[in-house]
Structure 1
Amino acid sequence: MTDHVLHERRGAHLRLSLNRPERRNAITVAMYAALADAITAAQDNPDIRVITLEGEGVDFTGGNDLADFMKEMPQDGQTDIPVWRLLRALATNQLPLIAAVHGNAVGIGTTMLFHCDLVVAEEGTRFKMPFTELGLVPEAASSLILPRLAGRQLAAKYLLLGESFGVEEAERFGLVTHRAASGELAERLEAVVATLLSRPPEATRLTQRLLRGTSHDEVLERMDLENGHFSERLTSDEVRAAISAFFMSRQRA
């Protein structure tokens, strides 16, 4: 458990919020574990009907805490590290899952959204997946899901080039489902949650499962493929050089 992930029950609503605003909600290994445990435990709780993911402070998340992650690099054959437990929990989740995003949503801050049923984004939000910049490969089955949503060329723009994009573009290709005016994200999210909770519970649960269908098997298979490449990349000279350059640029900033 970590104080950097807030858990709050509001009746049938489980609110999970990244709570490390002083570091732009950069996600640590402990935070991955807390999120994975919370989402997994919710599956067996009949009193929980909807889960929301949010971020405290000015950003949804600046992505992975690279310094923390590099200290906890997975060993060969490891499949139970916290970040991958979270990704599997998202892929197999059977409760309506809503993300409310604002500011910056970097790396996993964007890829986790592919596993949400609904995404509410505040105007001005920027999405970015800078994996190749860091010598890495995509995660969270984004190499499978994003081309299906946006088409191969746009997926290449975001994954190969790592170009950022805004709310309008994200809504156009289907990542964002609801937009919120600046300063009105909480109210917009609350309205979406209230509408969802007003629907008959079993019909809502069954519809969510039907929408996901059997695709989670294919998604998990792609995650395993990506994770294998990701693990190999972590020990490469390219990654060491890219991450070193990243930290040097932050020191100069």
Structure 2
Amino acid sequence: MAFLMKLCTRQVFSRFTEPACLSLRLSISSSVLMRPGSFNDLEIAKSRVSTLSNDPGNEAKLRLYGLFKQATIGKCSSKKPGMMDFVGRAKWDAWNNLGDMTQAAAIDQYCQYVDLLTSLDTGSQSSSTDLAQYKEIVVTDNNGVRTIMLNRPAKYNAITYQMYSEVQHALEEAAKIDSIVVAMLTGAGNYYCSGNDLSNFTNIPPEGPQKLAAQAKEVLREFVSCFIQFPKVLVAAVNGPAVGISVTTLALCDLVYASENASFHTPFMNLGQSPEACSSVLFPRIMGPAKANEVLLGGRKLTSAEALERGLLTSVFPAKTFSNNVKDLVTSIAELPPKSLMKSKQLLRNVDRDLLEKANKDECDLLEERWLSDECMQAIMAFMQRKK
């Protein structure tokens, strides 16, 4: 049976390499009006797929298929194919898993993914860069901008330990590549990031919860320190709701752009935890103590307009034009003299660098204590039970 399935899969997936598939026809839904620039970007990216000298593989082709359908038609509304239609089901899953992703976001991700495939195909990336190594994020380098996209849309981009490691590595690598001027963080799908994946707290090692807490503390401390020490311009493009660590790290970014449908929530008290990512220092400085306490202690969820008014954001853009607005701004920043940008950021960050590293250590020490408390464990269990 296994041999038969393998043979059938090989035969049906070979259809993905046919010219008709690789040169997908563009059929824009008449109910959607796209900016001419977006249309052109998609058309150009589509044509580049057929120029790949190496087969990118079935997983890449399925991802391209799903993003292209989402970009040109919108949310999947077709009936799931039958059990024996292996290709049809695989293609349907690739499209359906994108959920409510906007067509503009799908165009942006399609173009970025084609950039990645082209870079790997031609070997044009720096020899120190192996973008294919990332599993839970998508990393693309284009026109001086490294885009780091959290890529677990089905899980609302909840951060796993693997993702912590990959984002940190992508930033550390970007710091060493001369051609990278700006690093930008964003999320796949409709969420920016839903915070920590709570499964991080369930995989208790044989040594017990103390070992898990100690490991988690070090992972978080190093992750936040990477933001503190990053020498180049760091931009956050908040495309949707942000929770927990994805909110607190915004204060460590140099520029923060948000979609109008984004929200910002730090429910630390609900989970029996405490502030992180230097928010105990930076949020009161940015918002004022009373407003910061409302967010960090009271768990007040902010809209984009409120976060902008409180100084957490640089700008807010309409959801339909968000990707293009941010792309234009970040590209223009990447065209500025890179050494001047780095030296100026160093000057700005040096004022608080030691203070931020101390705050990071103190916050992580307290979090380790909170994670081992009965109060925190009961709060997390109650939250997970509510989710079920």
Q: TM-score range by the shorter chain?
A: over 0.9
Return the offset for 1:211.
Answer: 2.2
Q: Does 1:51 align with 2:183?
A: yes
Cross-structure match for 2:360: 223
Q: Unaligned regions of 5+ residues in structure 2, if any? A: 1-132
**Deviation digits for residues 36-63 of structure 1 (CA, Å, limit 9, x no counterpart):** 1111122222121100001001100110
Larger Rg: 2
- State whether residues 210 and 372 of structure 2, in contact with CA within 8 Å, keep that contact through their aligned partners in structure 1: no
- In structure 1, runs of 5+ residues without a counterpart are none
Q: Residues 28, 197 of structure 1: CA spacing in aligned structure 2 closer, same or farther, 3 A cutoff? A: same
**Greater Cα offset, 79-88 or 183-192:** 79-88
2:138–2:151 contact (8 Å) kept in structure 1: yes
Measured after TM superposition, the shift of residue 146 of structure 1 is 0.2
Letter in 2 for 1:97: L
- Name 1:15's counterpart in structure 2: 147
- The residue type paired with residue 172 of structure 2 is T
Which amino acid is the alignment partner of residue 359 of structure 2? R
Say which is worse superposed, 63-72 or 195-204, in terms of deviation: 63-72
Q: Name the SS for the 2:323 alignment partner.
A: helix
The answer to whether the 8 Å contact 2:144/2:335 transfers is: no
Q: Does 1:173 align with 2:173?
A: no
Aligned 8 A contact 1:138 1:159 in 2: yes
Return the offset for 1:70. Answer: 4.0
Could you tell me which residue of structure 2 aligns to residue 63 of structure 1?
195
Which residue is equivalent to 1:39? 171
Identity %: 31
Deviations along 1:207-249, one digit per CA (max 9) or x if unpaired, are: 2222223311100100100100100111110011101110111
> Does residue 193 in structure 1 map to residue 330 in structure 2?
yes
* TM-aligned CA deviation for residue 155 of structure 1: 0.8
Inter-partner Cα distance in structure 2 for 1:78 and 1:214: 30
Per the alignment, in what secondary structure is the counterpart of residue 320 of structure 2? Answer: coil
**SS of structure 1 residue aligned to 2:383:** helix
Kept in 2, the 8 Å contact 1:94–1:205? The answer is: yes
If asked which structure has higher relative contact order (CA below 8 Å, sep 6+), I would say: 1
Contact persistence 1:29–1:69 (CA under 8 A) = no
* Aligned partner (choices 243, 262, 277) of residue 106 of structure 1: 243
Give the Cα separation in 1 of the matches to 2:287 and 2:323. Answer: 27
User: What is the letter of the counterpart of residue 71 of structure 1?
Assistant: N
Instruction: Quote how far apart the aligned CAs of 1:136 are.
Output: 0.3
Give the Cα–Cα distance (whole angstroms) in 2 for the partners of residues 74 and 217 of structure 1.
28
In structure 2, relative to structure 1, the CA distance for the partners of 1:80 and 1:242 (3 Å cut) is closer
Query: What residue is the counterpart of 1:120 in the other structure?
Result: 257
Contact kept, 8 Å, 1:28 with 1:64, in 2: the verdict is yes
Give the drift of 1:178.
Answer: 1.5
Q: TM-score, normalised by structure 2?
A: 0.62
> Which secondary structure does the structure 1 equivalent of 2:196 belong to?
coil
